Structure 1
Amino acid sequence: MSENHTTSHEGENHGSYGSYIVGFVLAVILTVASFAAVLSKAFSFWQTIAVLGVLAAVQMVVHLIFFLHMGVKSASQRQNLYAFIVTALMVAIVIIGYLFVLWDAQANMMPG
């Protein structure tokens, strides 16, 4: 005996094929740009790291907007966006605190 369960997503924006195509094309372009930045050796090591960081941040925003549908258009999107921002801040605090503790411990180590 099977029951049909249907879920209604009234009022939610789940994107269109066009928006998925735009997001996919942007993600591919950003990925190719990352590989090109490394393989071309046009930048110094630290410049390459900076370029990759910027490209990664832009690609993360593309994924959040086009695939995860985070925005401010509806209440559901705003709640998802706020939850993501709080989570990202918590992760950043943990990582920065971890790096600070390690740096402080290394700086205070007595020479052997």
Structure 2
Amino acid sequence: MALNYIDEIAARIEATLDPEQRPDDDAWALYRLYALLVLVKGVDVSLEDVHDAWSVWMATINPKHDALVPFSSLDPAKRSEDGPYAQAIAAVARVLNSQSFDGTGAR
């Protein structure tokens, strides 16, 4: 099955993450939000951006999650948990920028 450009980026993000860092839940919607961050923030993605995207996803699957608060309200250890995702998003953005990604699979 051919992936659309959003799902192609989402798949790249998932593949970039260490398997132990991938969410246990069905996270395809989360990876799509992270794909949006690749497109709009690219290598400038922040931990707060990642947390906000995660919060949108979490609000649909567990609206009472204890980390579903503004980034500034999280303790430093909890904030750092967004690091691997920000790194994966930035890494995918760097690759796509270097490949002149056009969203069709063509380079």
Same fold (TM over 0.5): no
Asked which structure has the greater RCO (Cα within 8 Å, sep 6+), the reply is: 2
What TM-score do you get using the length of structure 1 for normalisation?
0.28
Larger Rg: 1
TM value normalised by structure 2: 0.29
